[in-house]
Structure 1
Amino acid sequence: MSEPIRVLVADDQSLLRGSFRVLIDTAPGLGTVGEAATGAEAVESARRLRPDVVLMDIRMPGMDGIEATRHIARCPETEHTRVLILTTFDLDEYVYGALRAGAAGFLLKDTSPEALLTGIRTVAAGESLLAPSVTRRLIAEFARLPAAHPVPRSSLDDLTDREREVLLLVARGLSNTDIAEYLHISHGTVKTYIGRLLSKLGARDRAQLVISAYESGLVTATSTSERRVRPGSA
């Protein structure tokens, strides 16, 4: 029997922390390992407890959830910990800030309990997650914002034509299954390409690949919404 997914709950409201813990602890294959009321507590607890997933609120006293996410993503002790942002604020700057800081997913607090549990499992499995209400805006608007750390286009020089093609499809928001169907390749082959892209671009996850695609200039909002990606060579 596999070990349960270990979750740290970080939220400044004790009632919400308690509610999340009850929900998670009663779900199959999940369990909480602790909670935090501030961003600083979240960072300290993540380093000490090494959870698989941190369920992170954005607005907390002192260090906010985005800064806490940045610390967790950059710390060697928590390099395998995934951060799922959960907030009531559906605002672009939070989405972009959280993803650039290293968050693996972003959901709103009005999401259903079932969707929240699925989200935890999704990010724990190495995938990335965005609330449906923000996915299209992320893809359409990302290029309009100044890049915090622009990725030089030369960093894409080592990618093959097929890897660039897969990266374009990831930036368009396609899932692995969608990419496999579009390119007429197996799901396993898509996963192999995603793994190569993560390694070559130094990205933590799928969300970071989207950021790299935009900040390198490889893809723009116009190219993802108006152009079809031409098949490349394998």
Structure 2
Amino acid sequence: MMRVLVVDDDFMVAKVHSGYVSRAPGFTVAGVAHTGAEALRAARELHPDLVLLDIYLPDVDGLSVLRQLRSGPATQDIDVLIITAARDVETVRGALRGGALHYLIKPFSSSALQAQLEEFATLRRKLHRLAQRSTAGQEDVDAVFGARTPKALPKGLTEQTAELVRQALQAHPDGLSASECAGVTDLSRPSARRYLEHFVAAGRAEVRLRYGGTGRPERQYHWRG
């Protein structure tokens, strides 16, 4: 299980984000903090795998917390995902330079956070495999750094529609056919199928055959949690 420390000055928001984490397969909430000082203390004592870090905190800003996490010998290996309402470019740049894995702007959906948690888990698995070797080849390095960047969509597909299809799949754990996905997303069936097949090719979804009373079995798509 990946252990997550949730840091947010708003008690209700922290509770909501903790719920998102708890529902993500393979993740658990290690602790919750509402100030920068609490976050640093909890990070040292709990040593979570990941910190969900807000920028607007009552004592210090989140970027200061990020820098201290990175410089502390007991916390420098902890990964950080920024979750904030801050939209100014300097804050985004500071988060990137500080070593944050990603930057989610509030408000965001549970599926958006789950997608980032999945990317984090994938990165950790690749790093673990790499640690079993004494040296790394370029292919190994590309695999690790590739886990931190979104995969390019094929020509003709858009990020916005891909996100829509992904949310539809995650909202239907029993799976969707291309026709059912088209009905949920208001896309045409051919368009829905293109996005579904893209997720299958990228390893983000899988296909199972659904057999009816007569005729050919129907392809049913399931998001891989």
The TM-score with structure 1 as length reference comes to 0.53
How do residues 205-220 of structure 1 correspond to structure 2 at under 5 angstroms?
Answer: none
Question: Cα deviation per residue 1:3-58 (whole Å; 9 max; x = unaligned)?
Answer: x1110000000000111111211221111000110111111111111111100000
SS of corresponding position for 1:117:
helix
Structure 1 or 2: larger helix share? 1
Aligned to 1:17: 14
User: Using the alignment, how far apart are the partners of 2:141 and 2:100 within structure 1?
Assistant: 22
From 36, 53, 58, give the equivalent of 2:55: 58
The aligned counterpart of 2:141 is 192
Question: For the residues of structure 2 that align with 1:121 and 1:83, how far apart are their CA atoms?
Answer: 14
Q: Does 1:89 align with 2:86?
A: yes
> Do structure 1's residue 111 and structure 2's residue 108 form an aligned pair?
yes
| Local SS of the residue matching 1:86 | strand
Tell me if the contact between 1:10 and 1:57 (Cα under 8 Å) persists in the aligned partners. Answer: yes
Indicate which of 113, 118, 121 corresponds to 1:121.
118
Residue 123 of structure 1 deviates from its aligned partner by 3.0
Q: Distance between the aligned counterparts of 2:25 and 2:4, measured in 1?
A: 13
How many residue pairs get aligned? The number is: 136
Partner residue, 2:4? 7
Which structure carries more strand by proportion? 2
Matching residue of 1:38: 35
Flag the structure with larger Rg: 2
The answer to whether structure 1 residue 28 and structure 2 residue 25 are counterparts is yes
Greater relative contact order structure (CA < 8 Å, 6+ sep): 1
For 2:11, the aligned partner's letter is S
Unaligned runs of 5+ in 1: 128-187, 198-204, 208-234
SS in 1 for 2:123: coil
CA distance in 1, matches of 2:25, 2:2: 9
**What's the RMSD between the two structures over aligned residues?**
2.4
Structure 1 letter corresponding to 2:98: A
Q: What percentage of aligned pairs have identical amino acids?
A: 38
Deviation at 1:190, TM superposition (A): 3.3
Asked whether the 8 Å contact 2:119–2:148 carries over to 1, the reply is: no
The Cα shift of 1:206 comes to 6.0
